[in-house]
Amino acid sequence: MNGSSSTRKADDPLIQKLITEYLRLLQSRPVLTKAVTSAIISALGDIIAQKIVSSRGPSHLPYTGIHWRSVAAISTFGFVVSGPVIHHIYHLLDTLVTKDTSYAGIKRVLIDRLIFAPPYLLLFFYVVSILEGKGHVASVKKIKETFLTALLMNWKIWTPLQYININYIPRQYRVLFGNAVALGWTIYLASKKR
């Protein structure tokens, strides 16, 4: 019996092995696993977004390649902030508003959208701009120019997705779900830019 089990495991495809290892790491090191996942998905999203934007730019502008400092900034934010902070926010939401609370799903989403999203978005704009080398003044200027529009778009697009994520996705997969949606959202926005 043990022999057939180990033989079956050795014959599993690579994807199955990666998924199994990922699930094991989610159990044994959840914060680190979510931090690494956030960093990788954030970097991938930024690279794809840059490729899409550059391929749709004016034909007279030469392709300048990937802006690796931007990739590093987004990835660092994903590793240091997104993965760990969002992991703890989901735990906090589940603790503050238990499933047996009246309108628990709506209350969790309202807390996430109204209390967590605004400062998180501010932090994102500021930290990523600083990591990209833009400095304090330029970072604050960018926030003043884009924050309100970005927050309103965040509420519009992310609210139904967060409702699904917070109320139907098991807690250990919520950061991954959010990262997957963020990857798609980043690519979509970049493809619409001109």
**Position 54 pLDDT exceeds 90:** no
Given a contact cutoff of 8 angstroms between Cβ atoms, the answer to whether 129 and 142 are in contact is yes
8's CB contacts (< 8 A; 6+ apart) are none
* pLDDT at residue 194 in the model: 35
Given a contact cutoff of 8 angstroms between Cβ atoms, the answer to whether 138 and 129 are in contact is yes
Indicate the pLDDT class of residue 62, thresholds 50, 70 and 90. low
Other residues' Cβ atoms within 10 Å of the Cβ of residue 79: 20
The residue type of 159 is T
* pLDDT at residue 83 in the model: 93
For residues 63-74, average pLDDT:
85
Distance CA 116, CA 125 (A): 15
| Pair of tokens at residue 188 | 């979509």
The residue type of 16 is Q
Distance CA 106, CA 61 (A): 48
| pLDDT tens digits, one per residue of 127-181 | 999 999 999 999 999 899 889 988 998 899 999 999 999 999 999 999 999 988 9
* Predicted TM-score of the model (pTM): 0.82
| Pair of tokens at residue 95 | 């603790």
